[in-house]
Every structure is written in C-alpha cells, then in structure tokens.
Chains A and B, each alone.
Chain A
Amino acid sequence: MSDTVLMPQLGETVAEGKILAWFKSVGDEIKEGDNLFEVETDKVTIEIQAVVSGRLNEIRVSAGDVAKVGAIVAVIGGESPAKAAPQPEAEQAAAPKAAPWRNPFEEVSTPKGRYGPAKGPGDIRITPLARRLIAQNNVDIMRLAAEVKQRGGSRIDEQVVRSAMAASPPTLAPAPDAPRYTAPPAPLSGQTITLNAVRLKTADRLAENWRAIPHVFQAIEVDFTAIDRVRGKHKRVFQEAHGFSLTYLPFIARATCLAIQAFPQVNARFDGKFLSLSPTVSLGVAVDLSYNGLVVPVVRNAEDLTVAGLAKAMRRLIDKARSSKLGPDDLSGGTYSISNNGAFGTTFTAPIINAPQVAILSTDAIQLKPAVVSTPEGAFVAPRMIGMVGQSFDHRAFDGAYSAAFLSRLKQLLETRNWEDEFAGNP
C-alpha cells in the first residue's frame, strides 16, 4: 500500500508553494513524523513532516520547483500510488445548474447617470422624470422655472416639461403689441451656414430675453492703472504657479462681488412680480467658444474667493467649456454675469441679460489712453490704463440711479482698493 505526499494547505490565500529542499532521498526509509521537505510560499517557509512511514519511492516535484496546493509531490511505500489523492484542479466543480442570473450584490439595478439636481432655479423642485426629460430634450429650465413660479406652482413635473416641449416658445410676460417671433427669411444665394447646437440652443433664449426684458445700458470709465501695477508685479509668479496668465478679469470679478454687497438688488432673480435677492454670488462668466457660440458657466460662492481664487475658478470653467465638458450644474443657478469683450479692442458692449438674472456686466478693452490727472500742482494729461465698464440691467427690477450708484461703487473699488493685499502671502 502506498501513500501520496501532497503539497499541503499553507494558508488561506496561498495557492502554491516552492520546494526549497528535500531532506530525504528516493530509497530512504521514512518514519512518520520525519521532516520530508521544506516549502516556501510568499508568506511562510515551513518544514513538512511525513504522516506515514515507508520507503520514499518517488519524488515528483524537485527542489526548486513549484507545485500547486494539493498536488502530489512524492510517493511513500508501494510500487505505485494506489489511490491518488484527488487533485484539486482535477475535481470537477459541479457547474451551477441554473445559469448565473444576477451579480449577488446587484439584485436591483441602479440606473447610471444623473439628470440634473432636484432643485432648480430659485430652489424649485423638479421631479426625477422632469429632470430626465429636461436634460434629454435640452429644455430651458430657467424658462420652466419662471413659468411655474409665475402661476404659483411649486414644482416642475412631467406635464410642465411636456407642455413646454410641445408648445411654441411660451412668453414670460406677453406684451400685447409685442411682435411674435417669426421665422428667419428664406436663405439668400450664397453660402448657407447652419447654426451649431450650442448656438441653436441659445438663440431662442437670447431672443426671448431681449424681447421680454426692458434693457437699459449704462457705462462708466475706469482707471485700471493701479490694478495694472499690481498685476504687473505678480504676473510672472502667478504664471509660474498656476500655468496661465493673470488678466484683469479676476480683479473685476472681485470688485463686482464687493460692490454687490452694497447693492444687492443687482444680484437677484426676477420672476415678473418678485425680486429675490440672492445671499450668495453665483457669478456667470460668458465664454466664447471660438465664434461657435457662447456659454455662461457659473462660479458658485464667488463672494468667498480672492482674486487668485476667482482666476482659477474661471479658468477651470473656461477650459471645461472649450473642451465641451461643462455639466448642467456648471450652467445653472447664476445670479449675476460678466461679459468680457476686451480682447478685440472694443470700447463698450451692451450685453443681453440672462433671465431670470436682472443685470450683466460688460468689460471691454483696457488700454493706454490720455487722461486728465489731478495733482496738487494742477491738472495734467497723462497716459493711463483706461477701460469702459458697463452694465445692462432690467429696468423693471430697479432704476437707473441704483444701477449708476452700483457702477460708481464698482469704479471706486477698482481704482482705489488696495489690490496688493489680495496677494499678501500667496501668488
């Protein structure tokens, strides 16, 4: 009668072992308990004893070789192994009779993806189905929210969305004599340019905003020399630290947030009846997509950010916009917007307000211009960095005097604030 010597179980997760050395040779008489071989795994090195006595007839796995747990490594006694211990791999694991049905930990399948937040503009509730329909059909959530608010409703549900999708674009506050939207004239002979998806999406909204909101534009001239000095001082360090250049825009954004503190009505939502002041500033930054349309991603809690912080946040959004990675969260919830047009040297721009916001700031080229500077010695003409800062505002929400006062405050901040302090300690 012979007995097989197996590679023993060496640990819960160990599947194989390497025989380092044999302590007995073929032909040796083995007594039960004798050390037979030494085996190494990734966890331990141990000596294995014989569990039977007899003559070591065969060594099947030599020193230096690896064998799976349960494999026959030697044979003791007898001519040939009588009954080989079942090899684990030879044992046919009975296949489950019924086909695998589900992953045991996925008995219920959670849908992937999101379709926008549960709360919309002005904290209006949106049902899951409505959110999905809005996202899948590019429905203007702002318009829906305004509609629902207007009729005293409290949430956007399927019916609201489907009505919006089915009907022609509804009006916010229809003026009786307001001309209805008409289709564009038939194309002229010459090249026809098809509007891309982004432009199409915004086209109707822009038209609606322009038509429904009584826009008034005011502008104020700002001396950016002081800012320019600070900007120049920190430009290089900033570029090295963050990988992009420090422009005027973050300074303007910062000043805007500060001015809003004194003039909160410009940072509000208007639904035709109520002006809802926003406690935080969600600052929309208009981003041009290389002549292929405009998106206005939003920096949340802008009032908490420094110039550098604003610069980074806006940069992130611009990059996302340019690589088409903006999500619905990035585009919703804005309370005030800035349209920055300085790159091409324009003097001023009267932008279109993003309803339900009530105002939008515009900035244009900031360049050296002759300006009158007052000194104790008298008034002199000097070259200064001058730029026009303008605001389009919704005249239903507040009057020109309020807007002008806001702009005046903004100018004061831009020209006289200690901007060096923004960079104290960090680039």
Chain B
Amino acid sequence: MASGSNPAVQSAPLSNDDIGLERRLELFRLQVEIRDCEKRAHDLFFQNLIKGTSHLSIGQEAIAAGFGVAMQKGDKSFCTYRGHAHTLARGASMEGLLGELMLRDVGLMRGKGGSMHLTSVEHDVYGSYAIIGAHLPIACGSAWRAQYLGEKDVSVVFFGDGTTNIGAFHEALNFAAVWKLPVIFVCENNLYMEYTPIGDVTAVKHPAADRAASYGLERILVDGNDADVVYRTAQAAIEKARRGEGPSLIECLTYRHSGHSRADPGKYRPPGELEEWLKRDPVIIYRQRLKDFGVTDDTITGIETESKRKVDAATATANASPPAPVEILTTDVYADGGWAWRN
C-alpha cells in the first residue's frame, strides 16, 4: 500500500478493479463537492459573510473522500479545525456547514461552535477540535468504548503534520498501541506547520510515518492526493481495527492550495512549489481516473454541474437564514440544557 517518496498517479486496469464504479463515482463526487464548497467558503469570507476564521482544505480533498467512502455508518470521525472537508465527506449538508461558517441559525450548531468545531453526530462527525492534538486521546477514548462494549465501529482521527510534535500525539499513540484500540490515526502532511515548513521543526523527515516504529506500528506513507490510494489504505486499516488487531498510523502526503487560514496568503512557500503541486491536484487526477475507467464526459460533467448547483442552493439557504435567537446564548452549557451554577 505504501508508495515511495515519489508519489505518482496510479491506476489499475478495469478488470482488476477492487473499488468498483459506484464507489469511484462517489469518491469523485465528494472531492468535487468539497472543492466547490471550500471555494465558495473562500469567496464568502472575502464578502465578509463568513466571520472569524476559516481553515480550508483546498488540495487535500482526496484524504477526506477516501476515508469518507471507506468508513461505514457508525464509524466515528474526529478532525481538526481544518474540518470542513471531513464534515462534508461524512454526509453533512452543505447548508448546515456554510450556515455554521456564516454563524446562522441553520448552521450545524446554530452558530454556537463556528468553523473550528463542526460537529454532526447524525453523520458520525464527533467534533472538530481547535486545540492541536487534543482529539487524539479523545479518539482513543471512543475506541476504548467500542472495545469495552464489544461494538464494531472504529474511530478515525485526522490531524496535520504539526500535531505530531505535540505531547498529546505521543500520549495517544502510545496509549492506543498499549491498549490495542480500534483507532486509526491519519496524518495529513501538507508540508507546512502553519507558516513553517514541517522539516524545520521535526526531528524526522516524515513526521508520522517515521515515528510509527516508536509505538510498534507499521510505517505507512501514501500519496494523499490519489483518492484510490487513500481509499485502499483506509480500508485496510479499518478492517484491521475492526478485527481487533489494534491501531494504525497513516501519513498522507498532500498540499494545501491556499494559506493556513483565510488570513494567510501563503507567501512563505518557495516559488514553483505551489505550481508543482497544482499539477497533482487530486480533483484533476481523479477526473482522469474516471475517464481511464470509461466514465463518460456527460456523467462527469453532470456530477460537476450538480455540485455547483448544490453549493449555490446551500449558499442561498444559509444566507437567508437569520442569526440564531439570542435565547441560545445561555442554553446547553450543561446537559440539562441550562447554565445554572447556583440556586
């Protein structure tokens, strides 16, 4: 499953297709919709309709899509503040997502959480986490619960290359390995920890893959821009966890097309780097993949058109939604819905 340090487009002949047309169309649809929705989020931010901050995944769609298709209903995902793609990939609605970014009542959390905390339990999205590394032990806890109750779901936690240097990463990996928990750790290595090249701040070249051995885990390093590769890698790790054989640590190599957050135009990147990676744009790769498998232009265009239509409709709905009523300022501090700290 692991490719070397020189990722290239992979393809397999139709006759050996283990993935199947239906899944491939799904993989493409997810990547296209994530791309279009993220681009819309970019525009809405500059129209001042999205406030605060927003971390986009443009260029990293294949990872979210690959795992999104590989996970089943009931498998729980945990992601970071760069979580729009992962939230959509599990099936949450675009208007819920855009609505939350725009801090309106129709948002997934009615505007109370914001872009960095997207959660949709209905779609098994068990939170997006803004404190780096915090959700890795949390995912371990979810996996422990499955193990303890004998439930068959797995927990998948997504994080960036920068996370591999924080304490909670190390604690979680060790914990999961020792307790042999059904949790999959997915490192999206987009080569930059916020504004700093990851190589400048990490003792090893591959921040996740080169550390797997420290926890007795297999070294898994893959091309994160090829949805098929991600899907197959995800499948294998999920099946392993479901069989009770413990956690996996997967490093997916990718690149983000925009800055770290909306405020960052990404000028710290060396010239030419972005252009090189744009050639390996996951959406372009996968469009070609579909054609290689004989999918017609009409079908492809149909998916792309439908995606734009969905994004426009979602934008309109989200934009038309009012801000939530002020009464919810103090609701749901506690599980009883209230906030009473005294009598």
Contact = CB atoms under 8 A, between A and B. Distances in A.
Are A and B associated in one complex?
Answer: yes
Interface of A: 3, 6-9, 15, 51-52, 69-70, 85-86, 88, 91, 93, 96-102, 104, 107
B263 interface: no
B309 A70 contact: no
Contact of A98 (B313, B329, B338): B338
A102 B343 CA distance: 10
Nearest to A69: B320
A250 to B, nearest CB: 55
B320 A8 contact: yes
Contacts of A8: 316, 319-320
Contacts of A3: 313
A85 B336 contact: no
B320 A70 contact: yes
A81 to B, nearest CB: 12
B327 interface: yes
Given A9-B320, A51-B312, A88-B322, A96 B106 contact: no
Nearest to A100: B327
Interface string B314-343: 011101111011011111101011111110
Nearest to A98: B338
A88 B323 CA distance: 10
Given A97-B336, A97-B337, A104-B330, A85 B322 contact: no
A85 B105 contact: no
Contacts of B336: 97-98
Contacts of B315: 51
A51 B43 CA distance: 15
For the complex, would chain A's binding face be called helix, strand, loop or mixed by DSSP majority? loop
B324 to A, nearest CB: 7
A406 B321 CA distance: 81
Contacts of B337: 96-98
A85 B331 contact: no
Contacts of A100: 327, 330
B312 A88 contact: no
A389 to B, nearest CB: 63
A69 B322 contact: yes
B316 A6 contact: yes
B341 to A, nearest CB: 8
Contacts of B342: 107
Given A51-B312, A100-B330, 6 more contacts: A51-B315, A91-B106, A97-B332, A98-B336, A98-B337, A107-B342
B258 to A, nearest CB: 24
B103 to A, nearest CB: 11
Given A7-B320, A52-B312, A86 B106 contact: yes
Contact of B331 (A9, A51, A69, A96): A96
Given A70-B322, A93-B325, A98-B331, A86 B317 contact: yes
B154 to A, nearest CB: 31
Given A9-B319, A69-B320, A93 B105 contact: yes
B45 to A, nearest CB: 16
A70 B321 contact: yes
A85 B317 contact: yes
Contact of B321 (A52, A88, A101, A104): A88
Contact of A88 (B105, B313, B340, B341): B105
A96 B328 contact: yes
Interface in B290-328: 309, 312-313, 315-317, 319-322, 324-325, 327-328
A97 B337 CA distance: 5
Contacts of B329: 104
A104 B330 CA distance: 7
Contacts of A104: 329-330, 339
Contacts of B328: 96
Nearest to B323: A12
A99 B331 CA distance: 9
A96 B322 contact: no
Contacts of B340: 98, 101-102
B338 A85 contact: no
A6 B330 contact: no
Nearest to B334: A98
A93 B331 CA distance: 13
B290 to A, nearest CB: 24
Contacts of A86: 106, 317, 321
Nearest to A3: B313
Nearest to B342: A107
A7 B317 CA distance: 11
30 contacts: A6-B316, A8-B320, A9-B319, A51-B312, A51-B316, A52-B312, A69-B320, A85-B313, A85-B320, A86-B106, A86-B321, A88-B320, A88-B322, A91-B106, A93-B105, A93-B324, A96-B327, A96-B337, A96-B338, A97-B331, A97-B338, A98-B337, A100-B327, A101-B338, A101-B340, A102-B340, A104-B330, A104-B339, A107-B341, A107-B342
Nearest to B337: A97
